[in-house]
């Protein structure tokens, strides 16, 4: 792909007299007159836009919303390959609003997580979206975990996480009567929400501000136009051509890719590097029987082990009142495979040939074996859960009825 497209993909600047300084840090209020849902308030056809965002998940929709509220004169379109929005990663996750305790101080992740949690609570209140600020305990059940727990507490303070407390056994019992532990971090600002509901609200804001959403548009190719399309009044004003699997095309000045589990492939289509590659891991959850949900009030997490790239099995309340237990982390054989036997030959070959799977597996071999064992034997997972809540038994569990989509690594 030509270098010009690489530049256009990398930075969304100077479109239509817009934002030479790049994306602003937060959303502002929409300004100007109300505009029609499609067309962006300009005379060009609806098949051309100033900016196109590939991906109708929460990241793509949030990006689209932020852009159109700050730059209402731009025409902006969102392309989504499914018939509905936010049906993959956005709709297949535990729904936890994390407080920002885990990330390296001063890192962008830490700053965005702390600020993002506060903004999300504020947005949900404004829009009437249900959420629960049920808190979280990060619990040390072994003496050797206490130094890691204390270090994590200090990291949370450095990150500016509000309300953190180190609590002892008696206070653990007050927060979670059935949980055992030697010491815990109390994170009262952790919560839960239905992220798909949030994403759909973003989409509504975007469309009401004049943005366009095109579903059933699976991107197949992104290229620079060699000539103006016949009978087009736009000429070469929109030089990027985005084609779908049906042979249809959209033209634009700038393209932003937010393609989730296909972000590496879409990046490659756009002329950019596909690295880092995606290695899909599926997280299977267990479901606590409804009559046993009284055992868990809020989120209960283990002390993370920095040697491994996962937080470990935890207890997660859901907005519908159910309790999820998990997840494990098992290699998936399909990027959007939410069931154990979902398989894609293309995805498997990509994992073997192009990804860093061998390096990942060699660095985390013992952890991977343990995860596979727990995935195959329910009793092994329950035994681990009993470290935190001894009252839980195998008969209290419904096996793998809640499944989270593959993770991005």
Q: Which of 388, 371, 285, 368 is nearest to 327 (CA)?
A: 285
Mean pLDDT of 189-198: 98
- Side-chain-side CA neighbours of residue 274 (13 Å): 14
Distances (CA, A) of 308 to 295, 344, 371: 28, 27, 12
Question: For residues 169 and 19, which has the higher predicted lDDT (pLDDT)?
Answer: 169
pTM across the whole model: 0.85
Between 153 and 398, name the one with better pLDDT: 153
Whether the pLDDT of residue 37 is over 50: the answer is no
- Over residues 305-322, the mean pLDDT reads 85
Give just the sign of the alpha carbon dihedral 224, 227, 230, 235: positive
Report the share of the chain in percent with pLDDT over 70: 83
Tokens 């730059």 locate to 71
Q: Average pLDDT over the chain, rounded to whole?
A: 85
pLDDT at position 381 over 60: yes
How far, rounded to the nearest angstrom, does the alpha carbon of residue 25 sit from its chain's CA centroid? Answer: 19
pLDDT score for 146: 97
* CATH number for domain 48-90+196-270, candidates 3.30.2180.10, 3.40.50.11540, 3.40.228.10, 3.50.50.60: 3.50.50.60
| Cα 145–chain centre separation | 29
Tell me the pLDDT band of 369, cut-offs 50, 70 and 90: confident
Let me know: does 259 contact 63? Beta carbons within 8 Å.
no
Tokens of 107: 């890192």
Measuring CA to CA, which residue among 211, 196, 237, 239 is closest to residue 79? 211
Q: What is the pLDDT of residues 280-297, one digit of tens each?
A: 888 889 999 999 999 999
Dihedral, CA of residue 343, residue 318, residue 95 and residue 53, to nearest 10: 70
Rounded Cα distance between 86 and 71, Å, is: 24
Q: How far is residue 65 CA from its own chain's centroid?
A: 17
How many angstroms separate the Cα of 67 from the Cα of each of 4, 62, 78?
22, 9, 12
Residue 360 and residue 165: Cα distance in Å, rounded? 35
Q: Which residue has the higher pLDDT, 140 or 225?
A: 140
Q: Which of these, 70, 73, 75, 76, lies nearest to 33 by C-alpha position?
A: 73
DSSP state of 227: S
Q: Rounded mean pLDDT of 304-333?
A: 87
> Which pLDDT value is given to residue 308?
67
Q: What is the pLDDT of residue 134?
A: 97
State yes or no: pLDDT of 84 exceeds 80. Answer: yes
Which of 175, 170, 169, 174 lies closest to 190 in space, CA to CA?
175
For the segment 296-304, the average pLDDT, to the nearest whole number, is 97
Q: List Cβ neighbours of 91 (8 Å cut-off, separation of 6 or more).
A: 195, 196
Q: What is the pLDDT of residue 361?
A: 77
pLDDT at position 282 is 85
Query: Which residue would you say has higher pLDDT here, 40 or 207?
Result: 207
pLDDT value, residue 389: 98
Q: Which runs of consecutive H residues, i.e. helices, occur in 305-364? A: 345-354, 357-363
Specify the pLDDT at position 406: 54
Mean pLDDT of 84-93: 94
Q: What angle do CA 160, 163, 167 make, to 5 degrees?
A: 120
Q: How confident is the model at residue 407 (pLDDT cuts 50, 70, 90)?
A: low
Looking at the predicted structure, is the pLDDT value of residue 107 above 70? yes
Q: What is the pLDDT of residue 12?
A: 37
Residue 303 binned pLDDT confidence (cut-offs 50, 70, 90): very high
> What is the model's pLDDT at position 237?
86
Q: Measure the CA–CA gap between 110 and 104, rounded to whole angstroms.
A: 6
Higher per-residue pLDDT: 329 or 240: 240
Residues spanned by CATH 3.50.50.60 within the chain? Answer: 48-90+196-270
Q: Cβ(285)–Cβ(19) under 8 Å?
A: no
| C-alpha 24 chain-centroid distance | 21
Assign 367 a pLDDT band (cuts: 50, 70, 90): confident
Cβ pair 299, 314 in contact under 8 A: yes
């Amino acid at each position: 792909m030509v270098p010009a497209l690489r530049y256009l993909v990398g930075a969304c600047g100077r479109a239509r007299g817009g934002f030479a300084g790049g994306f602003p840090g937060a959303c502002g209020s929409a300004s100007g007159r109300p505009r029609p849902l499609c067309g962006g308030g300009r005379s060009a056809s609806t098949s051309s836009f100033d900016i196109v965002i590939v991906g109708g998940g929460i990241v793509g929709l949030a990006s689209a919303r932020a852009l159109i509220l700050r730059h209402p004169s731009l025409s902006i379109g969102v392309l989504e390959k499914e018939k509905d929005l936010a049906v993959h990663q956005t709709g297949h996750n535990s729904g936890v609003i994390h407080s920002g305790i885990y990330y390296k101080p001063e890192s962008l992740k830490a700053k965005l997580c702390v600020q993002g949690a506060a903004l999300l609570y504020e947005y949900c209140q404004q829009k009437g979206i249900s959420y629960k600020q049920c808190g979280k305990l990060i619990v040390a059940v072994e003496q050797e975990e206490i130094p890691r727990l204390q270090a994590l507490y200090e990291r949370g303070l450095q990150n500016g996480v509000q309300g953190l407390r180190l609590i002892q056994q008696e206070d653990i019992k007050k927060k979670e009567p059935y949980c055992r532990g030697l010491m815990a971090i109390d994170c009262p600002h952790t919560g839960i929400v239905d992220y798909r509901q949030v994403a759909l609200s973003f989409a509504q804001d975007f469309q009401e501000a004049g943005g366009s959403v095109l579903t059933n548009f699976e991107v197949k190719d992104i290229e620079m136009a060699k000539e103006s399309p016949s009978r087009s009044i736009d000429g070469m004003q929109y030089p990027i051509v985005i084609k779908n699997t049906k042979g249809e095309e959209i033209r634009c000045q700038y393209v932003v890719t937010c393609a989730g589990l296909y972000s590496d492939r879409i990046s490659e289509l756009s002329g950019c590097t596909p690295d880092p590659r995606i290695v899909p891991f599926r997280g299977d959850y267990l479901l606590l029987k409804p009559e046993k949900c009284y055992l868990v009030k809020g989120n209960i997490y283990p002390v993370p082990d920095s040697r491994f790239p996962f937080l470990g099995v935890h207890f997660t309340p859901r907005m519908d009142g159910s309790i999820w237990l998990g997840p494990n982390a098992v290699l998936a054989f399909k990027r959007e495979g939410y069931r154990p036997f979902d398989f894609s030959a293309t995805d498997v070959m990509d994992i073997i040939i192009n990804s860093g799977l061998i390096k990942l597996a060699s660095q985390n071999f013992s952890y991977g074996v343990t995860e596979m064992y727990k995935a195959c034997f329910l009793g092994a997972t329950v035994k681990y859960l009993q470290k935190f809540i001894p009252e839980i038994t195998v008969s209290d569990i419904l096996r793998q009825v809640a499944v989270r989509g593959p993770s991005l690594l």
